[in-house]
Amino acid sequence: MEIQEKVKFEEELDHSFLDEIKEKSFSEEISRCIQCGTCSSSCPMVTYMDYPPRKIIAMVKHGFKDEVLKSFTPWLCASCYSCQVRCPSDIKITDIMYTLKREAIEAKVYPAKFPIPALAQEMHKLIAKNGRNSELWVVVNMYLRLKNPFGPLKMTSTGLNLMKTGRLSLKKEKIKNRKQLHKLLKAVSEGAK
């Protein structure tokens, strides 16, 4: 086992982290968290998380930037918004999880071997190129990105079932006016943070 520092000194925390996340997720309310744990108890994914949502909010508030951005929690958020609609302090917890995912990608500290960020990025690439998602190809690209040749084996029965019922499409879907889409995305990325 690797020895890790589990408690931090005040000086080791990043005190600008809270303001950064507040601004980027449009969530001033985050300071109002009373640590009631309604979010964690509403979360269908909490049993798989390294830090439950309640802890993530506390860690954001107190500047545990490294731990939060490296955590699996944002990537395990299924975006079901249970926590967000139930939060008594109206904290937009799901939206904050989205911000944390983007920040982790930007800081290149997200769990790169984990399939979920790989899927998100491959889907983004495919849509930006073709204007449409193609279910089969996004999965193929995800496994290529993960360099996991055995991954698709797990999905054999899925593939066969879809094929039998005529629901597996091999086609790469594309919109007609891709030029317009590419121009749009270029314009948005220029000047955007």
Between the CA atoms of 109, 115, 121 and 125, what dihedral angle is there, to the nearest 10 degrees?
150
Residue 29, phi then psi, degrees to nearest 5: -60, -15
Tokens 């593939």 locate to 159
Residue 172 in contact with another protein, rule: CB under 8 A:
no
Distance from C-alpha of 41 to C-alpha of 125, rounded to nearest angstrom: 35
Kindly tell me which of 64 and 122 has the beta carbon lying closer to another protein.
Answer: 122
Residue 168 in contact with another protein, rule: CB under 8 A:
yes
Residue 173 in contact with another protein, rule: CB under 8 A:
yes
Q: How far is the CB of 169 from another protein (least distance, A)?
A: 4
Residue 192 in contact with another protein, rule: CB under 8 A:
yes
N-terminal to C-terminal alpha carbon distance within the chain: 40
**Binding mask of the shown chain, residues 8 to 37, with x at each position contacting another protein by CB under 8 A:** ------------------x-----------
Helix (H, G, I), strand (E, B) or coil at 128: helix
Kindly tell me which of 59 and 141 has the beta carbon lying closer to another protein.
Answer: 141
Distance from C-alpha of 55 to C-alpha of 74, rounded to nearest angstrom: 12
Residue 57 in contact with another protein, rule: CB under 8 A:
no
Kindly tell me which of 13 and 130 has the beta carbon lying closer to another protein.
Answer: 130
Distance from C-alpha of 69 to C-alpha of 102, rounded to nearest angstrom: 9
Please check whether residue 69 is in contact with residue 100, taking contact to mean a CB–CB distance below 8 angstroms. Answer: yes
Which of 54, 171, 61, 184 has the alpha carbon at shortest distance from 128?
Answer: 184
**Binding mask of the shown chain, residues 63 to 102, with x at each position contacting another protein by CB under 8 A:** -------------x-xxxxx-xx------x-x---x--xx
Please check whether residue 139 is in contact with residue 118, taking contact to mean a CB–CB distance below 8 angstroms. Answer: no
Residue 185 in contact with another protein, rule: CB under 8 A:
yes
Please check whether residue 68 is in contact with residue 107, taking contact to mean a CB–CB distance below 8 angstroms. Answer: no
Q: Which residues in 105-144 contact another protein (CB under 8 A)?
A: 105, 115-117, 119-121, 123-124, 127-128, 131-136, 139, 142
Give me the residues that bind another protein (CB under 8 A), please: 26, 44-45, 48, 76, 78-82, 84-85, 92, 94, 98, 101-102, 105, 115-117, 119-121, 123-124, 127-128, 131-136, 139, 142, 154-155, 157-158, 161-162, 164-169, 173, 175-177, 180-181, 183-185, 187-189, 191-192
